[in-house]
Structure 1
């Protein structure tokens, strides 16, 4: 009952969210097996902070999310040293691209509304497209 009546301190919540996102950019998600891709897709979908009620200064969250997603996609953008995408995991790969694509669309929508932030989100878009290119080329 107390938790329902207590007000959330948005500055603390924003700070905690930024800390979590900044830590997530060092994650190495499993993308070499079907199980790893499924777990990664589930994690990316559930960890997306933009799915919750936004706090003030959302741009900070968007920039941190761009940085995190950019770091997650970086190893895949160069074809994963010829190991991306793994063979025989099309269904899991589709789920993974859906999860990452949802975040990308949210970031693209933000970038369209806030053109001054184009540089922050363009790296994510480029890396996503490069990883997608290797997937489609198979």
Structure 2
């Protein structure tokens, strides 16, 4: 009986740091971006402010990374990321990345095509935000709206 109590206590003590860590830390996002793009830097700042660690890689052409990660060419932007086995294309909000990682749907990734005004990294003071969709896409190019953001 005493051994069981000690075992439970040891398990509980070992679980406490893991639970706390999971709540405060997000996985690393590997981002491939063009070296001179300011909106990419702003998107990376958005990710970091929301708890993600980001490894940014400056590349001259992001198209090979999109192809490698299964991102449809029509969704292309100036930066492509990978996290948890999912591709991220364009100005995907951190909240949608967190949802993706929590839900773990069968998909290739998320995309925000067209660099819409008001999406993370594309905010301009005094400019209203455009309506835009975050798309959940499959490797075969099929997609559906994962979340809609209304114009503001």
TM-score by length of structure 2 reads 0.24
- Whichever structure has more helix as a proportion of its residues is 1
Larger of the two Rg values belongs to structure: 2
Of the two structures, which has the highest relative contact order with CA contacts closer than 8 Å and spacing of 6 or more?
A: 1
Higher strand share: 2
